């Protein structure tokens, strides 16, 4: 079991490959579909995700695993093939979001605790039987006046660690995702300080819950200023500060770090990853586990129309290829323009 966990964790961060986060809950996918004028029915959600998983070039070459939502893990493609089988046929690992979302934390205004531990051992067993080989749990830490509090960070880190231990016990690789949000007007240095505290606490709790670091993947935010900050940061500054905080907090036993995009533009998320990998000398693999930064372009191209499926698949393949290049430190803005053309 331990060997399988380690092998699957390494596969998830294999050179030039990254993870597609397609685990939008029903409420979140509705928001995404609203933006492109598509009704969020079960059939439309299936058609859209089937389109992604049938993007053979992208799936075989650039995607190591796909994070699914419970509904998708159980769905069948239009020809009756389970969606999970499409992912496996492409050589990628199916994964599952197992948290039950971030809920208000009592007596901590503006802060949340991610729920979903009750009954998780049983759900993980079923998910493994359905084909899931890794899972994801996202803790959300917001930065604003007076927050985050130490209590909220500790509670979320402990839940992440308990989830990770339950996953490993069930033979499932945990993606540990403590996300410091980029909403707000805070500086890049405030993001650095909060991210550092959150990561230190997360690894402290992972240690206490006896989580095997070789059999997990970390999914952190990058160190960036708040979206509304008056002073924004260069690509180089983001890369240097993100790598610095990670080197200070993430043990070398962790096989890989797969970033979330967090609301960055598609190209920013790619450029930041590329700049970090180009720095070199890193003890872990760096790659992507993007939701929006991989899906915004295909969603727009698709817009719910069957005649747009090929264009949507081309848009997804292009973004996946650009991020694959970035994960190898081989991306450039010129290449982005040339390939897009």
Quick one: 7 or 30, whose CB is closer to ligand 5MM?
30
**Interface with ligand 5MM, residue 262, by CB under 6 A:** yes
Question: Least separation, in Å, of the C-beta of 208 and ligand 5MM?
Answer: 25
Quick one: 213 or 260, whose CB is closer to ligand 5MM?
260
With CB under 6 A as the contact rule, the residue among 290, 302, 316, 331 that binds ligand 5MM is: 290
Quick one: 133 or 138, whose CB is closer to ligand 5MM?
138
Helix or strand holding residue 272 (H, E): helix 266-279
Report how far residue 246's alpha carbon sits from residue 248's, in angstroms, rounded to the nearest whole number. Answer: 5
**Interface with ligand 5MM, residue 17, by CB under 6 A:** no
**Interface with ligand 5MM, residue 261, by CB under 6 A:** yes
Question: Least separation, in Å, of the C-beta of 3 and ligand 5MM?
Answer: 27
Catalytic residue among 219, 241, 321, 336: 219
Question: Least separation, in Å, of the C-beta of 99 and ligand 5MM?
Answer: 7
**Judged by CB under 6 A, how many residues of this single chain contact ligand 5MM?**
16
177 is catalytic: yes
Quick one: 168 or 221, whose CB is closer to ligand 5MM?
221
Q: For residue 149, with 0-12 CB atoms within 10 Å meaning exposed, 13-18 middle and 19 or more buried, which class applies?
A: middle
**Interface with ligand 5MM, residue 224, by CB under 6 A:** no
DSSP letters of 18-85? EEEE----HHHHHHHHHHTT----HHHHHHHHHHHHT-HHHHHHTEEEEEE-HHHHT-B-TTS-BHHH
Catalytic residue among 50, 177, 179, 321: 177
Do 37 and 44 form a contact (C-beta atoms < 8 A)? no
Report how far residue 233's alpha carbon sits from residue 188's, in angstroms, rounded to the nearest whole number. Answer: 7
Do 258 and 287 form a contact (C-beta atoms < 8 A)? yes
Report how far residue 140's alpha carbon sits from residue 157's, in angstroms, rounded to the nearest whole number. Answer: 10
Q: In Å, how far are 135, 280, 290, 332 from 7, measured between CA atoms?
A: 15, 23, 22, 31
User: In 10 A of CB 176, how many CB atoms?
Assistant: 28
Candidate segments 24-32, 48-56, 75-83, 244-252, binder of ligand 5MM by CB under 6 A: 24-32
Candidate segments 20-28, 55-63, 119-127, 327-335, binder of ligand 5MM by CB under 6 A: 20-28
Q: In Å, how far are 17, 23, 75 from 78, measured between CA atoms?
A: 27, 20, 10
By the criterion CB under 6 A, which residues form the site for ligand 5MM? 21, 23-25, 28, 67, 101, 138, 179, 260-262, 290-293
Q: Which residues does the annotation mark as catalytic? A: 177, 219
């Amino acid at each position: 079991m331990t060997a399988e966990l380690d092998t699957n964790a390494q596969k998830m961060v294999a050179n030039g490959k990254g993870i597609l986060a397609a685990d939008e809950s029903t409420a979140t996918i509705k928001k995404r579909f609203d933006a492109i004028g598509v009704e969020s029915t079960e059939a439309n959600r299936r058609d859209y995700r089937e389109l992604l998983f049938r993007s053979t070039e992208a799936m075989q070459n650039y995607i190591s695993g796909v994070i699914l939502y419970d509904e998708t893990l159980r769905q069948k493609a239009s020809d009756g093939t389970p969606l999970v089988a499409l992912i496996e046929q492409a050589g990628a690992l199916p994964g599952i979001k197992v948290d039950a979302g971030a809920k208000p934390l009592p007596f901590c205004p503006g802060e949340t605790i991610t729920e979903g531990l009750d009954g998780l051992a049983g759900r993980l067993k079923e998910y493994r039987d359905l084909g899931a080989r890794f899972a994801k749990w996202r803790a959300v830490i917001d930065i604003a006046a007076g927050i985050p509090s130490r209590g909220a960070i500790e509670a979320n880190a402990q839940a992440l660690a308990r989830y990770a231990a339950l996953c490993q016990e069930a033979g499932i690789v945990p993606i540990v995702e403590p996300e410091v949000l980029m909403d707000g007007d805070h500086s890049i240095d405030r993001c650095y300080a909060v991210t550092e505290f959150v990561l230190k606490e997360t690894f402290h709790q992972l240690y206490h819950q006896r989580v095997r670091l070789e059999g997990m993947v970390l999914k952190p935010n990058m160190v960036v200023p708040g979206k509304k900050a008056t002073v924004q940061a260069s690509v180089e500054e983001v890369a240097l500060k993100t790598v610095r905080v990670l080197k200070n907090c993430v043990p070398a036993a962790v096989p890989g770090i797969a970033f979330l995009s967090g609301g960055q533009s598609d190209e920013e998320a790619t450029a930041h990853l590329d700049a970090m990998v180009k720095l070199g000398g890193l003890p872990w693999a760096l790659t992507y586990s993007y939701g929006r930064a991989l899906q915004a372009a295909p969603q727009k191209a698709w817009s719910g129309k069957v005649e747009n499926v090929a264009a949507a698949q081309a848009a997804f393949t292009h973004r996946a290829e650009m991020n694959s290049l970035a994960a190898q430190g081989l991306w450039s803005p010129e290449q982005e323009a040339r390939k897009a053309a």
